[in-house]
Amino acid sequence: MTQAFDPAGKPSDKWGWFVALGVLMIMGGGIAFGNVLAATVASVYTVGIVMLAGGLLHLAHASRVRGWERLAYWSLSGACYTAAGIFAVLNPLLASAILTLLMAVALMIAGAFRIWSAYNLRPLKGWGWIALGGVVTALAGLVIAARWPVDSLWILGLFLAIDLVMQGLALIAFGVLAKG
């Protein structure tokens, strides 16, 4: 008799669910690798729809607050989110260019912080690995920025595909090891 999925159960009892989810995520990653442009557009649409919904909820909340300052904050916040969501849904290719540039800048900043953190950890063994990780992250940001906006049509889809495959592999490994 098959047992129903119990989220409160032990991971070792549910190892098959982790493996199955991992396989599905790898399949999704394979589909995204097959058409990174479509994966980019799909990810931008998803972000746009979520921002649009969030903006509309902010605007609805603004109608319920008291006081000019609070009303202005929630209304402006909701309007910005709503406008960004509409923009992303109406023009996903331009939105992908903007998101790609933001990702490049974020990677460069994250890489710089990792290098700085590694510098502060110098007396400890292994600090060089953190520095190397920071250099790779910063270089990834620089490479993306150097090829911007040309690569904006496929870079987000590529990152989505890589993330889906990596998460799938991690879930499969966890499920197999949890089976113990």
Overall domain count for the chain: 1
Residue 116 sits at the vertex; the CA angle it makes with 112 and 121, to the nearest 5 degrees, is 145
Residue 79's nearest CA partner among 97, 104, 48, 57 is 57
Q: What is the pLDDT along the chain (180 residues), one digit of tens a residue?
A: 455 555 566 767 788 999 999 999 999 999 999 999 999 999 999 999 999 999 999 999 888 888 877 888 889 999 999 999 999 999 999 999 999 999 999 999 999 999 999 999 888 888 999 999 999 999 999 999 999 999 899 999 999 999 999 999 999 999 898 887
Q: Is residue 89 part of a domain?
A: yes
| Per-residue model confidence (pLDDT) at position 1 | 46
139-147 own/partner pairs: CB under 8 Å, 24+ apart? 139/111, 140/107, 140/111, 141/103, 141/104, 141/105, 141/106, 141/107, 141/108, 141/109, 141/110, 141/111, 142/104, 142/108, 144/100, 144/103, 144/104, 144/107, 145/101, 145/104, 145/105, 145/108
Q: Is residue 37 part of a domain?
A: yes
Whole domain around residue 153: which residue ranges?
Answer: 13-179
Q: Is residue 6 part of a domain?
A: no
Residue 99's nearest CA partner among 38, 9, 159 is 159
User: How is residue 70 written in tokens?
Assistant: 């609070």
Q: Is residue 154 part of a domain?
A: yes
Q: Is residue 8 part of a domain?
A: no
| Per-residue model confidence (pLDDT) at position 68 | 79
Please tell me the pTM assigned to this model.
0.74
Q: Is residue 28 part of a domain?
A: yes
| Per-residue model confidence (pLDDT) at position 155 | 92
* Distance set, CA 140 to CA 4, 55, 82, 112, 155 (Å): 43, 32, 31, 12, 11
Q: Is residue 3 part of a domain?
A: no
Q: Is residue 63 part of a domain?
A: yes
